[in-house]
Structure 1
Amino acid sequence: MSLKSFGAKIFASIINKKTQRWVNNPIETQAKVLTSLIEEAKHTSFGQDHNFDEIKSHHDFVQRVPIRDYEGLRPYVDRVVEGEADVLWKGKPIYFAKTSGTTSGAKYIPLTKESMPYHIEAARNAILAYIHETGKADFVDGKMIFLQGSPILEEKNGLKLGRLSGIVAHYVPAYLQKNRLPSWETNCIEDWETKVDAIVEETVDQDMSVISGIPSWVQMYFERLEAKKNKPVGEIFKNFNLFIYGGVNYEPYRAKFEQLIGRRVPSIELFPASEGFFAYQDSQTEKGLLLLLNAGIYYEFIKVDDFFQENPTRHTIGEVELGVNYVLIISTNAGLWGYNIGDTVQFVNLNPYRIVVSGRVKHYISAFGEHVIGKEVETAIEEVMQGSNVQVNEFTVAPQISPNEGGLPYHEWFIEFGNEPDDLNNFAMQLDEAMRKQNVYYDDLIAGKVLRTIVIRKIPKGGFQQYMKSIGKLGGQNKLPRLSNDRNIADKLEIIN
């Protein structure tokens, strides 16, 4: 055992003890977070506009701070972007994480000196939790790669801005710098395909032990490695022993990854966003991600079924239930207040509080009143793939309300297969049966002959990458929506098909 891996185990034990202190006092921890946030921001413009000096409880907070999305908070954010201080949080932010909104154009999410450390610590603690639980730390001696956006930052009114993954690249600790790939120069390449090819060249002869990124883009990297060396990734990198990912559910990709790697590699799931680092997988044996209750974020939860009511109930951590689909609402030490990030979660454990990400508020299908969510389509396709040699590289689903061929409307699944099923019609029927088990409203629509069963459209290899490139979102932290309630994506995929 190297000195470095021995030290990692000691550090992992220390961090585990610190984590357990707030894990064992979740309700008290969240109450302290809210009190601290209110106290720190009561003299800001937002705090004064919402009478923060009168807030003594969650009930007071609900009465004074409404739920907002980015557009709702934008008048305040615009003032911050223009360089004004003490607007949403004390002082000025140190960065803006620039993201692309579907309706808002560019979105500028503030990162403050108080919030930024939690992004770094959460990613670190996820790895330390793995070391503490498994006792495995040898991977710290190998090379590590993080597929991420460019670290080149722009400047706007004296404040630096860029993609979150590029900003985080500036915070890689010194003890990891020698192990970290790709090089700074390669990381700065903007064109994703050029960048992946450069990463392949830099890493193909290295001892890679940890690989991290969004599964769809890591898959592209693995495919190019395999094509270059004509052997599985697990043979190219014999000490590759840990895959770290976030952004999307890994399970639909798992079979393809195991084929590309040639073996199963342990993995850690993360739940980061520009707005905050919310959760990470703290156990290899328990389902779900540990919700980070002591990370400068106060959480509220609104049941999805109630979300579009005029004044839905905002539940605290002590009021949530298992298996209920909640819209995640956050207030943070970056100055986001009663903020709807658009993600939905379900609790799979209440001691400790562990969640799974179930989808996006805006990413669903309810063209016929079925309200299908991302977790349901992912669970259905995982179920049908089990025990078969079928592999799915990528997929998305949209409603077909007015089929050109006539007849009943249906849900249209666009799937890029790694290994195709022997009988596509039978696969579609099995998938439809799995969906009927997942969603009772969908089952009723099929039984009532309002909808016909699923129709699958095969997308050629690389088709989804072609689509993402066509809309300027190839690579980085960009993700393909699993579901759309319109035909915007579907119509473009039909052209590719």
Structure 2
Amino acid sequence: MNSAEAWQDPDRLLRYRERVFLERARLRTALADADGHRRRVLADLLEFNSGTQYGKQHGFDRIRTLDDFRKAVPVQDYSTLGPWIERAAAGEPNVLTADQPAVYFTSSGTTGAHKKIPVTPRFMRTTFFPFYFAAWAPLLEHFPDVLDRPDAVLNLKHDPLSAPPTTGDGRPHVGASQVDFGSRFGEPLSAEPGTGAPWATLPVHVEPGAHLERMYLRLRLAVESDVRCVIGINPAMIAALPYQLDLWWPRIVQEVADGTLGGVPHRAPNPRRAAELERLAARRGTVRPGDVWPHLRALFCWTTGLASLYLPRLREEFGAGVTALPAPVAASEGPTGVALDRHGSAGSLVVTAAVHEFADADQDLGPDTATLDPRELEVGRDYHVVFSHVGGLYRYSVGDVVRVVDRVDGVPRVEYTGRSTRSNAAGERLRDGQVTRALAGALDRTGLELRNVACRVRTQDPSPAYEFAIAPRTPWSTEETTRFAALLDEGLRAESADYRAARSGPGPRLGDPTVLRLDPDAFLRDWQHTVGTGIRPTQVKDRLFRQDPEQWNRLTGRPAAEGKPA
């Protein structure tokens, strides 16, 4: 049975729904005994991996409590665990885990370097699948028609490979969206919504690195279907979709009329649908996803970080009343939180998946950093995430910062605020989350809107200063821009004591921030360019801090007529 047939099989759909809601119910129940699950997760990873080389070196067999574990294992990141992972990836057995990794997830992080994240069968069974299935529960509960047909969901992240790259031991080294969990881990129900659509596996050959052509071909096929939901995870992919529709529109319409796909005969010509599409574009002078798919009701992606600044208005391009459901607070390395209801941004801590520890985001993480338990976290504060799980990551700093929104059954509910990387030209030590909140405050107080934003530190006399490149949704006047820059500076001072100190006193170390207004599509063109270089779309994410001169110049280009720093 192929994927499309599987998503039409009533028995398979029933079992899939049951599994999704069962895993959510289990996670909800687990919240009432969060401390107990934490102890059991720790005991399981210690017992299962005590005989590994890492376990022996760190005395796993002698550890009884979390305090013992903290004393035996330092807080670490990928650079610390990397040598151990490389040994496993070269084929050496029993290094970090008792079971051999079946695949290595790739993760670009913030550096662009491709990490190798070991993924073992035990990790998938105990850590990954429970949160992975539960994550779809709000979508299926409130928008059940997304499973009515295989082509009701446009899954932008699904990206299977016929010949994936491998590590030294012959294991696939790919993105999570490129793994067939059914065949690799014996979970036939694990295929995501949208993976049975006609465009999920393209019927024409596309070179492995030709991601833009692959995205075009999927859109070309999808415009002939009644799409109800778009899955992107990475919100930059969803933001790019309206731009791509408009960019590729003439080619799409012509191919629909001709019945071709990438210039190759594919199906019967459809001049009636082509004429409908032409009328849609003529009505507005452009085309929007909500026009093409009038029954579209839900988006599934990260809703926080920079996306929180543009997603509310972006949703309107997908149709009136479209809901944006938050993807899990998770990384290739493992999960932190998953939304169990329709909360717009946050997810409950996945207490059955890992031993989660946290540290105040304003301090730098080091091997001996004192960490906090989930019950010690304060609502409205930002924290580094450190977790340990049976898949071989121990007291691992994933590099993400989360904010505690509230508590459910006493367990923190968290939202992703950005990476832990700091911008620090003059001691200001700014984080993504601080700048995003300052931007949101300035937008709110001015009534202005943007489509995206980035910043860099500009060297100038007598001191360096931040320059913000902004793509306004509608034109900003010089007066509005000047006021926005002043309010942004005020917000940054309120968010960060270090920034406030760098901006204060005689001879401040940091000058006044400036704003460079770009044209509305500047970030979309830059995203399109980056994907065109061969980087997978899932890995081309919104980035706030952009210090590389070449990348900055490509993004900003020649400023528009009004595009002078204010």
TM-score (norm 1): 0.87
What is the aligned partner in structure 1 of residue 6 from structure 2? none
What is the aligned partner in structure 2 of residue 60 from structure 1? 68
Structure 2 counterpart of 1:125, from 127, 134, 149: 134
What is the aligned partner in structure 2 of residue 314 from structure 1? 371
Q: Is the 8 A contact 1:299 1:316 kept in 2?
A: yes
What is the aligned partner in structure 2 of residue 219 from structure 1? 239
2:476 is paired with a residue whose SS is coil
2:539 is paired with a residue whose SS is coil
Cα distance between partner residues in 2 of 1:18 and 1:191: 41
**2:512 is aligned with what amino acid?**
T
- Residues 327, 175 of structure 1: CA spacing in aligned structure 2 closer, same or farther, 3 A cutoff? closer
Query: Is 1:137 aligned with 2:126?
Result: no
Q: Is the 8 A contact 1:144 1:180 kept in 2?
A: yes
- Residues 441, 430 of structure 1: CA spacing in aligned structure 2 closer, same or farther, 3 A cutoff? same
Structure 1 counterpart of 2:171, from 148, 159, 166: 159
Structure 2 counterpart of 1:203, from 222, 226, 247: 222
Structure 1 counterpart of 2:386, from 313, 329, 348: 329
Q: Is the 8 A contact 1:398 1:487 kept in 2?
A: no
**2:147 is aligned with what amino acid?**
V
Q: Is the 8 A contact 2:155 2:195 kept in 1?
A: no
What is the aligned partner in structure 2 of residue 86 from structure 1? 94
Q: Which residues in structure 2 correspond to 1:57-456 (within 5 Å)? A: 57-100=65-108, 105-117=113-125, 118-132=127-141, 135-142=142-149, 143-148=152-157, 150-152=159-161, 153-156=164-167, 157-167=169-179, 173=190, 176=193, 179-180=196-197, 182-185=199-202, 190-213=209-232, 214-226=234-246, 228=249, 229=277, 230=281, 231-246=287-302, 249=305, 250-270=307-327, 271-285=329-343, 288-295=346-353, 297-308=354-365, 311-350=368-407, 351-362=410-421, 364-386=422-444, 390-400=448-458, 402-403=459-460, 406-423=461-478, 424-448=481-505, 450=508, 451-456=510-515
Instruction: State the 1:373 CA deviation.
Output: 1.4
Q: Is the 8 A contact 2:211 2:537 kept in 1?
A: yes
2:477 is paired with a residue whose SS is coil
Cα distance between partner residues in 2 of 1:430 and 1:177: 43
Q: Deviations over 1:206-225 (max 9, x none)?
A: 11112111111122122233
Structure 2 counterpart of 1:483, from 532, 539, 545: 545
Q: Is the 8 A contact 1:151 1:169 kept in 2?
A: no
- Residues 422, 234 of structure 1: CA spacing in aligned structure 2 closer, same or farther, 3 A cutoff? same
Cα distance between partner residues in 1 of 2:470 and 2:536: 18
- Residues 175, 371 of structure 1: CA spacing in aligned structure 2 closer, same or farther, 3 A cutoff? closer
Greater CA deviation, 93-102 or 37-46? Answer: 93-102
What is the aligned partner in structure 1 of residue 260 from structure 2? none
- Residues 367, 286 of structure 1: CA spacing in aligned structure 2 closer, same or farther, 3 A cutoff? same
- Residues 417, 463 of structure 1: CA spacing in aligned structure 2 closer, same or farther, 3 A cutoff? farther
Instruction: State the 1:319 CA deviation.
Output: 2.8
2:209 is paired with a residue whose SS is coil
2:335 is paired with a residue whose SS is strand
Instruction: State the 1:35 CA deviation.
Output: 0.8
- Residues 149, 453 of structure 1: CA spacing in aligned structure 2 closer, same or farther, 3 A cutoff? farther
Q: Deviations over 1:302-333 (max 9, x none)?
A: 22334346622122223333333221111122
Q: Is the 8 A contact 1:373 1:483 kept in 2?
A: no
- Residues 192, 389 of structure 1: CA spacing in aligned structure 2 closer, same or farther, 3 A cutoff? farther
Q: Percent identity?
A: 20
Q: Is the 8 A contact 1:256 1:418 kept in 2?
A: no
Cα distance between partner residues in 1 of 2:45 and 2:216: 45
1:399 is paired with a residue whose SS is strand
2:452 is paired with a residue whose SS is strand
Q: Which runs of 5+ in 1 are unaligned?
A: none
What is the aligned partner in structure 2 of residue 27 from structure 1? 35
Cα distance between partner residues in 2 of 1:175 and 1:234: 23
What is the aligned partner in structure 1 of residue 272 from structure 2? none
> Aligned pair count?
489
Cα distance between partner residues in 2 of 1:147 and 1:338: 32
Q: Is the 8 A contact 1:248 1:479 kept in 2?
A: no
1:218 is paired with a residue whose SS is helix
Q: Is the 8 A contact 1:389 1:421 kept in 2?
A: no
Q: Deviations over 1:173-197 (max 9, x none)?
A: 4695775363212798532221221
1:93 is paired with a residue whose SS is coil
Instruction: State the 1:66 CA deviation.
Output: 1.2
Greater CA deviation, 340-349 or 302-311? Answer: 302-311
Instruction: State the 1:89 CA deviation.
Output: 0.7
Greater CA deviation, 8-17 or 117-126? Answer: 8-17
1:371 is paired with a residue whose SS is coil
Cα distance between partner residues in 1 of 2:42 and 2:344: 29
Instruction: State the 1:422 CA deviation.
Output: 3.0
- What RMSD, in angstroms, separates the aligned Cα atoms of the two structures? 3.2
- Residues 416, 286 of structure 1: CA spacing in aligned structure 2 closer, same or farther, 3 A cutoff? closer
Instruction: State the 1:60 CA deviation.
Output: 0.9
Instruction: State the 1:104 CA deviation.
Output: 8.6
Q: Deviations over 1:252-295 (max 9, x none)?
A: 22244134224241122122321013222223247622111112
- Residues 86, 474 of structure 1: CA spacing in aligned structure 2 closer, same or farther, 3 A cutoff? closer
Q: Deviations over 1:418-442 (max 9, x none)?
A: 3232333333233333333333433
- Residues 172, 395 of structure 1: CA spacing in aligned structure 2 closer, same or farther, 3 A cutoff? farther
Cα distance between partner residues in 2 of 1:139 and 1:221: 19
Cα distance between partner residues in 2 of 1:340 and 1:393: 31
2:107 is paired with a residue whose SS is strand
Q: Is the 8 A contact 1:416 1:463 kept in 2?
A: no
What is the aligned partner in structure 1 of residue 255 from structure 2? none
Q: Is the 8 A contact 1:12 1:129 kept in 2?
A: no
Q: Deviations over 1:196-244 (max 9, x none)?
A: 2112101012111121111111221222335634233123212211111
1:23 is paired with a residue whose SS is helix
Q: Is the 8 A contact 1:120 1:168 kept in 2?
A: no
Q: Is the 8 A contact 1:301 1:328 kept in 2?
A: yes
1:219 is paired with a residue whose SS is helix
Q: Is the 8 A contact 1:347 1:354 kept in 2?
A: yes
Q: Is the 8 A contact 2:289 2:317 kept in 1?
A: yes
**2:226 is aligned with what amino acid?**
D
Greater CA deviation, 323-332 or 148-157? Answer: 148-157
TM-score (norm 2): 0.77
Q: Which runs of 5+ in 2 are unaligned?
A: 1-8, 183-187, 250-276, 282-286, 560-566
2:40 is paired with a residue whose SS is helix
**1:457 is aligned with what amino acid?**
L
- Residues 415, 286 of structure 1: CA spacing in aligned structure 2 closer, same or farther, 3 A cutoff? closer
